Structure 1
């Protein structure tokens, strides 16, 4: 468990957190604007995916309320197993409260502590400006663009970005 200077507590997620996690994931997945997840995914399938190996799931609490979630783990096995991957989601009430920043800082620190040398986000939807900005502020660089790789429900085909952070350089 870690606590940042704003009082955000990040701890491993447990099955007791499923309701709160689903409260965050469901509207994000149903909107279909940021994740490559079917918009009609069931609660059970979504939670199984969020907690699936090789990822470790975490929650971010502020004032005793879960306002953000992450899962962090190996991006690929074998010769690429030194590169981590992570996903994040926050509750709408978390905006401007440092939850996303705390989650990404924790994810990087956790990954570094597990021996990962880098972290890569494989598929950041380019129209998700808040996420792109947040990850760039956290030291991630856009290293690739996948033209038209994501079918956005309102905007049609939009680009996806590959973002990378060298954890050994910090």
Structure 2
């Protein structure tokens, strides 16, 4: 029962939204608004019962595109609308993929920056460090090698951590 009442109320509320609205002035100069035109008065229609819809890129008065050709005035077919929808959907998917790729690249840059900063802190701490040479053997990093590594890491931090 409640659903029926709610349905009827929503229909009654929606009825005035589709009605025409008229405006006129009476003999005393007061402005009146009504959904019915007055008898013998010159009334202006403020809103029609059916409002015309204008497609994007078309003129409201003629329904034609910027060129004003009769070809543009023809309504789009279902296939044309479907093609336009698919193109918009593909563009949106492409934009989303690009945004996701940029987000991943930004996250990777942040990880690289954090790792380089940690490496720089370790290099500047003075603790003994070792690295593996080309033969896979471990060799201690001397003072000269540490200074070179600090300079290289600082350059990387300056360029990657902007």
TM-score (norm 1): 0.16
Question: Between Structure 1 and Structure 2, whose CA radius of gyration is higher?
Answer: 2
TM-score (norm 2): 0.17
Q: Per residue, is there more strand in 1 or in 2?
A: 1
Q: Per residue, is there more helix in 1 or in 2?
A: 2
- Structure with the bigger RCO (C-alpha within 8 Å, sep 6+) is 1
